[in-house]
Amino acid sequence: IVAAQGIPGVAGAALRVPLVTGGEIGYANLDHAASAPCLDSVRSAVDEFLPWYASVHRGAGFASQVSTRLYERTRDILRRFVDARTTDTVIFTRNTTDSFNLLARSLPRRTSVVVFDTEHHAALLPWRGPNVRRVQLPRTRLAAVSVVDEALAACPEGPRLVVVTGASNVTGELLPVAEIAAVARKHGARVALDAAQLAPHRRISLRELDVDYVALSGHKLYAPFGAGALIGRSDWLRAAEPYLAGGGATKLVTSDAVVWNTGAERHEAGSPNTVGVYALGVACEQLAANWTAVGEHEATLLERLRKGLAGVPGCAELRLFDAPVDRVGTVSFVVDGFEPGWLAAVLSAEYGIGVRDGAFCAHVATKRLIGECGRDGQQAVRVSLGLGSTEEHVDRLVLALRQIVARGARWEYTKVDGRWAP
């Protein structure tokens, strides 16, 4: 069905899962924001590549040449994927968290960092020290830009960096990245974009947004785990201490001295995740060729989902901004009288639906947004759509919630190791 709509197919679309009430059912994976299922094309490309992988940059053999070629080619794919400047560097990392930690370690001394407190912990926590300003995200996009403006104006002289997410992992709402970048320029600041949640859903252009760095994760981009990237201006990265010390990062080592590489390899010591990087490149290429179909698919499902949730008694959706804004297919909500962890367990056990519950590694955002919709609590349920989602999944979720609210669970649940289980 998915292929017929012109949308890239995903592995796992036909998975069936057991129900505690008996029998089994097609798995409704509504947790794409955590990790998206692998694209069919990625799966077959990786399968074809597996017999061929060999050491990258270090071997003269044919398989090493193939691996090196594919690994290096992926830098170009990623550069195109985010429409980077020709001078930008592409460093392969493990994921977005790794990318931001690398960037944090590469900042010139006394760089001031401005970051919204609502960011994912991967974008919030790597920056340390007295020059970090965590600012509260206000309820309008316009005010958000002003808050950055004011925070930058209060920064001491010296290098400055603003860190901002493209799309919230809690609400899916898009942040005003281009506007923030314009304000940052005024203050001579650089901007780092957390594209973990934006990149799987929208075309990104570093040039059009005028941002300096972008971080992303392969496992959210329909490739398997273990490969991500930091893409952006090379000067700070070239001047920084190598992120990891070891083979591959060096030009020359003598018994008492080391000359480090100055290119991307400086921060890629050790044998890299060649298969993961290759998979990431294949996924990016396929997404880039299908943005229109991807966007339409997700927008239709998102509307259906939000309409459905609005009809569930006691259900309140979390939102960053007061006015409706452009957003990707991620929705978090609470339902009066029901613990999010318990709801998620019932949805899985009795309906075969996979959602996420908790505070989504964005504790400040989740707690505040729950308070702002007039409820108490620190945790919510998150539903996130993607290429593996169908109308049936959305309808099943909405019906399940209505049934649970009306008549509770059909099974009894107890807490085992902190998680609800039937």
Interface ranges with ligand PMP (CB under 6 A): 95-97, 120, 122-123, 165, 169, 194, 196-197, 217, 219, 361
Alpha helices in 362-416 (DSSP H): 363-372, 391-407
Least Cα distance to 312 among 394, 385, 386, 376 occurs for: 394
CB of 169 to ligand PMP, least distance (A): 3
Pairing verdict, β 356-358 and 419-421: unpaired
Retrieve residue 8's tokens: 């890239």
DSSP, residue by residue, 47-98:
HHHGGG---TTT--SHHHHHHHHHHHHHHHHHHHHTT--TT-EEEEESSHHH
Nearer to ligand PMP, 200 or 352 (CB): 200
In a 3-state reduction of DSSP, which class is residue 106? helix
CB of 217 to ligand PMP, least distance (A): 3
CB of 201 to ligand PMP, least distance (A): 12
- Amino acid residing at 320: L
Nearer to ligand PMP, 228 or 352 (CB): 228
CB of 227 to ligand PMP, least distance (A): 10
CB of 98 to ligand PMP, least distance (A): 6
CB of 5 to ligand PMP, least distance (A): 26
Report the alpha-carbon distance of residue 137 to residue 144 in Å, rounded. 6
CB of 47 to ligand PMP, least distance (A): 23
Q: Is the Cβ–Cβ distance between 217 and 95 less than 8 Å?
A: yes
23: burial class by Cβ within 10 Å (0-12, 13-18, 19+)?
Answer: exposed
Nearer to ligand PMP, 102 or 107 (CB): 102
In a 3-state reduction of DSSP, which class is residue 43? helix
Q: Helix and strand tally (H, E) in the chain?
A: 13, 19
Backbone torsions φ then ψ of 129, nearest 5 degrees: 100, 175
Alpha helices in 240-352 (DSSP H): 274-288, 291-310, 340-351
Q: Would you give the DSSP letter of residue 156? A: P
Least Cα distance to 105 among 219, 230, 18, 8 occurs for: 230
Q: Which residues contact 231 (CB under 8 A, 6 or more apart)?
A: 78, 79, 82, 84, 88, 89, 90, 91, 206, 213, 214, 215, 216
CB of 411 to ligand PMP, least distance (A): 30
CB of 387 to ligand PMP, least distance (A): 17
Nearer to ligand PMP, 123 or 155 (CB): 123
